[in-house]
Structure 1
Amino acid sequence: MMKSETAHIRPLADLATPMAIRVAATLRLADHVARGAHTVDELAVLVDADRDALAVTMGQLVTAGVLTRDAQDRYHLTPLGDQLRDEHPERMRATLDIEGAIGRAELSLAALLQTVRTGKTAYSHHYGQSMWDDLVDSPALAGSFDAFMSFKTTTNAPALASSPLWSRLNHVIDIGGGDGTLALALLAEHPVLRVTVLEQPGPAATASAAVASRGLADRADVLVGSFFDPLPAGADGYILNDVLHNWNAEATTAILRRCADAAGATGSVFVIESGSGLDAPNSGLDLRMLAWFGGRERTPGDVARLAVRAGLALRTVHHAPPLHIVELTRPDDAGR
């Protein structure tokens, strides 16, 4: 009988490689190597780093397969390391940048024990205030966060906009619609649809400029506002794209209630959560939402249960692979 092989848990708990990669992303090492800087001495000057500390870190990056080192101690990117270039299509460098909003938030997972013990966010424990307050206080972090959300929405927008469900609507309001990326995709795909973006001042200004630059002011408008305040009434649909997972059950119910009040008896609320599967949420993202915001990833069933508290009921789930769109309406309209 062959002895059974059991994977060792230590590699799963290793922090050396993830942190070395994040430091490389923050220092933009891949971009410098791609432009011709191949030695530790050259790179230390370019990134303003201690030469010996950088050499040790790059040694770990070689071990991890991010870099190779030749006989002349010159470093080169592997296909894995190439993903850390700033212009790589997947844009991972900015996501991993420790000095950016998402990379900074990732480091707060070091305080996950406090979240598990108390239920409070690791982010607040680690940094002394909530992530939302950090974004308000730091324009640089806010810009980084907005860029991340814009890229994420750009990736998902074609699948969402191509859903036939929007063709039966006349006017939709994208609540927390960021820089207008999804709104512009909807306008392009559905020529008679009118779209309103409601956002905080910074992203709203970007969305307004995008609408104007495309000559779509006759079919789109942008409002500054919060989804915790009363929303404009009378639209056919209210979109919550990548919004609810940032909030706990109480806040999520409050947001849904604002949408229900605005939608009235005939409108629909459309919930899109890109990290949630039909049967179970993405566990890694679920943990991050808990640690960063006190939020959760939710399946359509989870959303439906919270919707009841807000006076809404599940009408149907529209598929927009790899995403799904949960449609909620007033209970009397749920079967229409």
Structure 2
Amino acid sequence: MIEKSKPLKLDLETLILIAGGHTAFQLLWAGVELELYEHLSKQPQITQEVIAKKLNLELQPTRILLTGLTSLGIIIKENDLYSNAPLTEEILVASKPGSVAKILGWQRYIVYEGLTDFVKSLKENTNTGLAQFPGSGNTLYQRLENDPFKEHVFQEAMEALSKQANFYLLNFPELEKINHLVDAGGGNGTNGIMLCQKYANMTVSIFDSESVCNLATKNIANQGMSDRVKTWPGNFLNDPFPKNIDAVLYSHIMTIWSPQMNIALLKRTYDALADGGKVIIFNMMGNDDDTGPLSTALGSPYFQAIASGDGMLYSWSDYENWMIAANFKVERYDNMPLSHGILIGTK
């Protein structure tokens, strides 16, 4: 088993980093947007002057950017020459398969803007950060339908997150016997495409909003998977599930709602399945004692202040208790990196 992460030990250096976290992120993002990491990947060990020319910046702002990123360990300076740090080379170079650059785009254009209202959201216990996103609807996902750019940023980020994490779903024996799986909140179809490419007998229905299903239909067609991956436009909180299904996948989705809403959704899922049918919850999981890990602790404010005002990144025991309340028999699969885990409930 992967050892449970422990809370940070606070010292002055850590406190400085936390207090300047907004600046640290902007430095990190500037490197993505200006393609600094891309340039350093193609041509490492170059001078400040060369970098300034590549980024089309004056020397003073270039110096400020490079000093900040060097102090954060994101890039390395040796003999006045700059290169990517090893982890930067691995996950911040946008053109590489494992890049998280698009996930950082979600942080920049959605999380960063909405969290300016975090304290207010705590006091009022609602997603007051939604005011940063014009349009109608009480959730971010409804508002994004009115903003094609941010909806695109969001879907690209979720696709990148899926590719990062969903490797574990592709090597999971319990999925081999599933014939018709519903990917609830399946976005642009990334999960469904990957699953059908891996499991020869599986077909997938993407259950999501009409605008998202339109994106999924195009993506599915581009991948040549239209015969096995279909869309089912609607709201899976209220609308009927497709017929003749034997599994429902909730991947990075149940974090949006309150415990009461998730129990109700799981009961609806139970009713939609035949005996032996399965519900699969795949998510980042919080420690049962609410001590972390950092990835979930730092993710929860987004759900409180922006996404819905109801959810968070829940703990293992939260999900297990809800599944039991919905009458599922539960199995836990927790030996996964990136704070991820899988829970399977069987009817």
| TM-score normalised by length of structure 2 | 0.75
State the structure with bigger RCO (CA 8 A, min sep 6), 1 or 2: 2
Quick one: structure 1 residues 201 and 42, their matched pair in 2 at CA, closer, same or farther if it must change by over 3 Å? farther
* 125-134 vs 186-195, greater mean Cα deviation: 125-134
Unaligned runs of 5+ in 2: 1-8
Q: Does 1:123 align with 2:139?
A: no
Partner of 1:235: 245
Partner of 1:284: 298
Q: 1:327 and 1:10 mapped to 2: Cα distance?
A: 42
Q: 2:162 and 2:123 mapped to 1: Cα distance?
A: 34
Partner of 1:326: 343
Partner of 1:7: 11
Q: Once the 2 structures are TM-superposed, how far is the Cα of residue 88 of structure 1 from its aligned partner?
A: 3.8
Question: 1:20 is aligned with what amino acid?
Answer: L
Quick one: structure 1 residues 41 and 122, their matched pair in 2 at CA, closer, same or farther if it must change by over 3 Å? farther
Q: Once the 2 structures are TM-superposed, how far is the Cα of residue 255 of structure 1 from its aligned partner?
A: 3.3
Q: 2:176 and 2:75 mapped to 1: Cα distance?
A: 49
Q: Once the 2 structures are TM-superposed, how far is the Cα of residue 128 of structure 1 from its aligned partner?
A: 6.2
Q: Once the 2 structures are TM-superposed, how far is the Cα of residue 243 of structure 1 from its aligned partner?
A: 0.9
Q: Once the 2 structures are TM-superposed, how far is the Cα of residue 315 of structure 1 from its aligned partner?
A: 0.8
Q: 2:195 and 2:274 mapped to 1: Cα distance?
A: 23
Match of 2:299, SS state, is helix
Q: Once the 2 structures are TM-superposed, how far is the Cα of residue 69 of structure 1 from its aligned partner?
A: 5.3
Q: 2:301 and 2:87 mapped to 1: Cα distance?
A: 26
Q: 1:135 and 1:44 mapped to 2: Cα distance?
A: 36
CA RMSD in angstroms, aligned pairs only? 3.5
Match of 2:328, SS state, is strand
Correspondence for 1:262 among 249, 262, 272: 272
Partner of 2:109: 104
Q: Is the 8 A contact 1:105 1:123 kept in 2?
A: no
Quick one: structure 1 residues 61 and 172, their matched pair in 2 at CA, closer, same or farther if it must change by over 3 Å? closer
Match of 1:91, SS state, is coil
Match of 1:177, SS state, is coil
* 62-71 vs 195-204, greater mean Cα deviation: 62-71
Q: Does 1:30 align with 2:57?
A: no
Quick one: structure 1 residues 236 and 200, their matched pair in 2 at CA, closer, same or farther if it must change by over 3 Å? same
Q: 2:66 and 2:226 mapped to 1: Cα distance?
A: 51
Per-residue CA deviation, residues 2-28 of structure 1 (Å, 9 max, x unaligned), is: xxx982233332233333222222322
Match of 2:155, SS state, is helix
Q: 2:224 and 2:74 mapped to 1: Cα distance?
A: 44
| TM-score normalised by length of structure 1 | 0.77
Q: Once the 2 structures are TM-superposed, how far is the Cα of residue 276 of structure 1 from its aligned partner?
A: 4.0
Q: How does 1:1-336 map to 2 (within 5 A)?
A: 7-8=11-12, 9-15=15-21, 16-34=23-41, 47=55, 52-68=60-76, 75-79=82-86, 81-82=88-89, 83-96=91-104, 100-107=105-112, 108-121=114-127, 123-124=129-130, 130-209=139-218, 211-212=220-221, 216-228=225-237, 229-263=239-273, 267-276=277-286, 282-293=296-307, 294=309, 295-307=311-323, 312-319=326-333, 321-322=335-336, 323-328=340-345, 333=347
Per-residue CA deviation, residues 115-157 of structure 1 (Å, 9 max, x unaligned), is: 2222222532555675324422222222222122112222333
Q: 2:125 and 2:204 mapped to 1: Cα distance?
A: 38
Identity %: 18
Please say which structure displays the higher CA radius of gyration: 1
Match of 2:298, SS state, is helix
* 293-302 vs 258-267, greater mean Cα deviation: 258-267
